Chains A and B, each alone.
Chain A
Amino acid sequence: MSGYEHALKYWYPIAMANELAEGQTKHTQLLGNDIVLCGNNRGSADVRTAGKPLLVQSDYGHVWTTLSDDPHPLFSIPEASEHGRRFVPCGVVRVSCSPLRAVENFLDIAHFPFVHTGILGSEPHTEVYKYDVNIDETADEVFATNIKFFQPQASKSAEGGIETEYIYRVPAPMAAVLYKTCPPKPEYLDVIALFVQPLDEETCDVWPWMALYDDTSSMADLIQFQQLIFVQDRSILENQMPRRLPIDPGHEIPTKADLTSIAYRRWLKKRGAYYGAFEGI
């Protein structure tokens, strides 16, 4: 099975819920195919490619579609139904890079002091302490746990620097979910997810979505905070060579801090998720 055929079996975000008024159309791409959305009266959209209707579902603040008639089910985020959380779709950031590079960057903490300076990290607090990475065999997901990192401004709601705890989950090749310490409620974890729409193997639309405990920040401030972070990431992602993610060891040199990235690449390889992967020498 080719990387493309493998990628066909998943759901991908193509719009925010309620983005389209009834009858309003929007053109986009998915895995190199032209897609047309037409807003309906349920806050969702009818979706077609080359005239053929596609399956659609609304979840996690977005409209999702798939090119398959028999897709894998959309992964579950249980926190999406918890009372008390604010759900924040953050819009879209287009990035000229492989969708897999976008996910891998989201799983990386060692870049915080250099790319998100003064926000998610700062020198001299650069050390990445030992953490754990596992493949959950039942769910077939990558999990990284016991990550701790000093953050000057962990979120919009943070007042001063804190040591933040992180848990990462990779439930699908082009999605990642992050659980991190909620600054106003340290006993809870905020959820930040990255849903990636692969336009083709070297271009993607990134749809961040959050489920937070924060009753004070304005929606605009919450979105602006995440947009700033992702625009900073884009300056990196569009300058990584090659644009596609090298999955085989030997092309790039990881360290212990990259355990999540190493596990992610192995997990992609094992399942044949080569769409957006670099297969050169």
Chain B
Amino acid sequence: MSTEPIGLARDLAPKGVMRAQIGHTDIAIWRSTNGVVSAWENRCPHRGMRLSHGFVRGESLACAYHGWHYDCSGKCHYIPAHPELEPPSTIRPSIYSVVEQAGILWVNTIADADPVTLPKDLLSIRSITLACDLPTAIDSFSSAAQTEVSLFNGSVSVFSQQPSILSLSSPDGADGIFILFQQPYPHRVVAHVLANNLYQANDLIALSRWCESVRRAAEQNTQSSNAPASSL
């Protein structure tokens, strides 16, 4: 499994907790009050509660069920039902490698996270979730970009295969927009959209709306191709 882009770093504020999925691995990602990001198996070892429902206190993530506190290394250091107890060091969820680069949170559940190198100074625009499979999502953005002349010059290239990243050229011919795809589940794709800093505010608003229109088209294509023949 490659290093996957699971979210925009901007969307995970200090004390925030997110959930992601890579393959069959359910992941909790959280940022401590001081800004340290951690990505863990999404399951409290005590009673199996998803840690993505937990809450951050200082430099700890606490489970929503019984408040067990885990520090940034994953070690459980406080069990509220037994305030005097020093918890055994074996109580910890599995830890995954996570890095922030180019405004993206990159996670690898097997090895050290090794992100694709993107150009500097990209703006994080948004993440958008599409109810379709990965080829449909990529095709939809790719074909829509070729006819959207006010934002792009029609040139679309594959920047990376694994993970899937499209590069769309801006009207001046530069690498304008990057769209990073991640598929958490079958028929569910998250697209993270980054733009170079030459776009104006109005263009970025138009870009965000364009992403919505691509999502609708992709989901409609998926629905009509899944519909039984009699309803066509």
Contacts and interface: CB of A to CB of B under 8 A. Distances in A.
A97 to B, nearest CB: 10
B120 interface: no
A147 interface: no
B81 A110 contact: yes
B83 A127 contact: yes
B81 A236 contact: no
Contact of B82 (A242, A246, A257): A257
Interface in B22-58: 26, 42-43, 45-50, 53
Nearest to B88: A253
Interface residues of B, number: 23
B50 A239 contact: yes
Nearest to A257: B81
Nearest to B90: A253
Contacts of B63: 114
B82 A240 contact: no
Given A113-B80, A256-B82, A241 B43 contact: yes
Given A240-B47, A246-B48, A127 B82 contact: yes
A74 interface: no
B48 A252 contact: yes
Given A111-B65, A114-B64, A128 B45 contact: no
Given A115-B64, A241-B43, A253-B91, A128 B81 contact: yes
B67 A255 contact: no
Contacts of A254: 46
Size band of the interface chain A makes with B: 20 to 34
B216 interface: no
Interface string A70-107: 00000000000000000000000000000000000000
Interface string A254-266: 1111000000000
Given A114-B64, A114-B67, A241-B26, A126 B48 contact: no
A123 interface: yes
B156 to A, nearest CB: 40
Contact of A114 (B43, B48, B50, B65): B65
Nearest to B91: A253
Nearest to A112: B66
Contacts of B83: 126-127
B232 interface: no
Given A126-B80, A255-B79, A113 B48 contact: no
A240 B85 contact: no
Contact of B45 (A239, A252, A257): A252
Given A126-B83, A235-B53, A241-B50, 6 more contacts: A110-B80, A114-B62, A236-B64, A255-B46, A256-B82, A257-B81
